[in-house]
Structure 1
Amino acid sequence: MSSSYDPQYAPVGDVGTALMMIDSRLRGIHDGRTETDPEQQALIDQFAASLGPKGADDVLDGVCTLIFMFMTWLRKAHEDHDKDVIEYVVPNLVATMRMMPKSVRPEAVPTMAGLVVAAGTGLSPNLWRKQYGDWTEEEMTPLEATASLLAEHINRITDDPDFATRLITEALTSADED
């Protein structure tokens, strides 16, 4: 029986822009920057303002799609080793988010963990989250952090700093060809 939270019912959103944001964040971290460059932040803010509400919602859906795709890849990778993705990914993710109190407030951690569990069990993260109401401004940074942490986790286990980005880019390319 199909769930109303099945990914087939979810909007894909603007995955390209979401991936650009996550990739930019990861590159900044790897370059040793823990804070966003003020000039880069101004460009990001200007870009976000140009999107308007519909565009911002599309990027939000795109980030959720990335989380779903990352968790799908992680689930398959863990199943290949007879491991449970929830058991191995979620505790590490939660522990890392708890070490980031400036970016991820403690009250956002359970929501982000639930989002990842939903995605890890094959449910749409954005549809799962919508059952609790609209996204809040306070959840935007934790959502970006969640996607970034999942991408970084994939990059670490593949020992390839660009694997997660390439994974999504190749999926988008093959979807365009179909």
Structure 2
Amino acid sequence: MPSPCDPQHAPAGDVGAALMMIDSRLRSIYDEKDEIDPEQQKLIDQYAASLDPEGIDDLLDGACTLIYMYMRWLRMAYEDHDKDPVEYVIPSLVATMRVMPRSFPPEVIPTMVGLVVAAGTGLSPNLWRKQYGYWTEEELTPLEATTFLLADHINRLTEDHDFATRLITEALCRADKG
């Protein structure tokens, strides 16, 4: 019986905008500035301020699509080594979340982990989340941070600071051609 959370029923959202935000965060961390370039931050802030409710939904769906795509890649990478991605990704993700209480209040950790587990088991994270109502304001920063942590996990595995961004960019280019 097909799941109502099957990814084929999920909107992709604005993956490009979500990727731009995550890539900016990654670059700020890897460049050891621990802050986004002020011009880049200004552009992100202007973009975010220009979003209407539909645009915000598209950005949230885009972030969930990134989570799904990252977990799909991680699932394939870990399974190539006869490992369960949930077993290897979730413990380090939760440990990181717990030491970042400003980004991850304790009450949102189960939701963020649920998104990753849903994606790791082949379900759409955004459709899984929508079962429980609309996103709360308290979940928005943790959603972005969860997406960032997955991208960083991939980059560390591959020892390539641009791998996660390139992975998505190449997938978007293939989708445009197909």
Q: TM-score, normalised by structure 2?
A: 0.96
Deviations 1:27-79 (A, max 9, x none): 01112233456665444222111121111110110000000000000001010
Partner of 1:61: 61
Identity percentage over the alignment?
Answer: 74
Q: How does 1:83-162 map to 2 (within 5 A)?
A: 83-162=83-162
**Unaligned residue ranges in structure 1 (runs of 5+):** none
SS in 1 for 2:87: helix
SS in 1 for 2:168: helix
Deviations 1:140-174 (A, max 9, x none): 11000000000000000011110000000000000
CA distance in 2, matches of 1:61, 1:89: 22
Partner of 2:70: 70
- Residues 1:17 and 2:20 aligned together: no
Q: TM-score, normalised by structure 1?
A: 0.96
Check whether the contact 2:24–2:36 (CA below 8 A) recurs between aligned residues: no
CA distance in 1, matches of 2:87, 2:130: 25
- Residues 1:174 and 2:174 aligned together: yes
CA distance in 2, matches of 1:126, 1:30: 28
Q: CA RMSD in A?
A: 1.3
Check whether the contact 2:67–2:147 (CA below 8 A) recurs between aligned residues: yes
Partner of 1:80: 80
CA distance in 2, matches of 1:160, 1:152: 10
- Which is worse superposed, 33-42 or 143-152? 33-42
SS in 2 for 1:82: coil
SS in 2 for 1:134: coil
Equivalenced residue count is 178
